[in-house]
Amino acid sequence: MPEVFDILWGTPITSHAWNRDRSQVAVVPNNNEVHIYGQRGSEWVVLHVLKEHDKLITSVDWAPNSNRIVTCSQDRNAYVWSWDTATSSWKPTLVLLRINRAATFVQWSPAENKFAVGSGARMICVCYFEEENDWWVAKHIKSPIRSTVLSLQWHPDNIHLAVGCADMTARVFSTIVKGIDSVSAPSVWGGKSKFGTLVSEYKSPASGWVHSVAFSPSGNVLAFAGHDSSLNISYGPQEGIVSINTNHLPLVSILFISENYIVGCGHDCVPYLYSNRGGNWELVDKLDQGKKRPSATSSGILSSRFLAMDTRGQASTEVELNSNHQNTIKTTRVYEATGNAVTKFSTTSLDGKLIIWDILASGLAKVQL
């Protein structure tokens, strides 16, 4: 069974991120604050509240090694938060993104020497620390992005960046910054390319917004989820895409849990598991088997009750889904991993719940991470 924590009691959670040892979690409660929770027994208590943004915070990420938090907001700004041991508090440093629309998504690079910010200004800000001036500076990637950037995902080489946009396209860019990045071994996405080089571009099959992008642990496989309820996989810029067309609602967040398994979550309020079996990607099952469904007798009673409500023009406000989450799942994060295989992951939702899912204890005996 998953571990369910109703930490915000119905207040939507728009994003969350864990610290290195998973003892604390940063949560965005659908406003301009970040609440950092620590677990005390079975309860989660607020340890710190980060207040600096003027408008709704859209994304948060926590660098495990440097222990720095980065946030971005609809106020068009980003902040890097560092722990001050002298005052036992988090201190913000403003990052001048130089954008004229909301910042939508942020993520640290694997080496934690850069982070990328997506925006509604049809551009990506790749930010790095400039020692000489003691500040974070941003370099922009604009062309050929034609709409809001909805999601980002760094390649393990710390150079290539996958981008999902509302122009129905997923792209991979080179973000190499002179003096910051070292030359890495060539991957399927190419070797050394100048900053902003478009490496690959993929259209969503049925022209749906690209809500989420993800690289596999090796970095050789790219997956992206569209608002057309599709999950799409590519094995490199010279390859086409393999599409899984589903009959469920669109996925909002996807995560590789191993080279051959993907977890996808979204408007259906449950995590779905997809697998690569002999080169064919397919839906395995839901990881949330829900609650026991009503019997035929109780179903008849419910049908009669709804019919009576319809006749009288009454509206029911007590509709409960047959799942642990009761609203759209917004963010999926790694909680526990062994090597390159994720054994536990966490989700947060617009229902205010934080849930930790154990894949090996899910009851799907055929899962081979």
CATH, residue 20:
2.130.10.10
- The pLDDT assigned to 175 comes to 95
Angstrom distance (rounded) from CA 174 to CA 49: 35
Assigned domain for 298 exists: no
Assigned domain for 66 exists: yes
Assigned domain for 301 exists: no
- The pLDDT assigned to 244 comes to 92
| DSSP labels, 94-160 | EE----SS-EEEEEE-TTSSEEEEEETTS-EEEEEEETTTTEEEEEEE-TT--S-EEEEEE-TTSSE
Assigned domain for 188 exists: yes
- The pLDDT assigned to 296 comes to 42
Assigned domain for 300 exists: no
Per-residue pLDDT tens digits of the chain, which is 369 residues long: 899 999 998 899 999 999 999 999 999 999 999 999 999 888 899 999 999 999 999 999 999 999 999 999 999 999 999 999 999 999 999 998 999 999 999 999 999 999 999 999 999 999 999 888 888 999 999 999 999 999 999 999 999 999 999 999 999 999 999 888 887 667 888 877 899 999 999 999 988 999 999 999 999 999 999 999 999 999 998 788 999 988 899 999 999 999 999 999 999 999 999 999 887 899 999 999 775 444 444 345 445 555 555 555 555 555 789 999 999 999 999 999 998 899 999 999 999 999 999 998 876 646 666
Angstrom distance (rounded) from CA 106 to CA 274: 26
CA neighbor of 128 nearest in space, from 178, 71, 91: 178
Angstrom distance (rounded) from CA 272 to CA 21: 26
Domain that holds residue 268: 3-291+325-358
Assigned domain for 316 exists: no
Assigned domain for 242 exists: yes
* Residues whose CB falls within 8 Å of the CB of residue 121, separated by 6 or more in sequence, listed in order: 99, 100, 101
- The pLDDT assigned to 316 comes to 52
Q: What is the pTM of this model?
A: 0.90
Q: How many domains does the chain have?
A: 1
Q: Which residues pair with 255 in a beta bridge?
A: 263
Angstrom distance (rounded) from CA 201 to CA 170: 6
C-alpha of 220 from chain center: 19
- The pLDDT assigned to 301 comes to 46
Q: How far apart are the first and last CA of the chain?
A: 19
Assigned domain for 320 exists: no
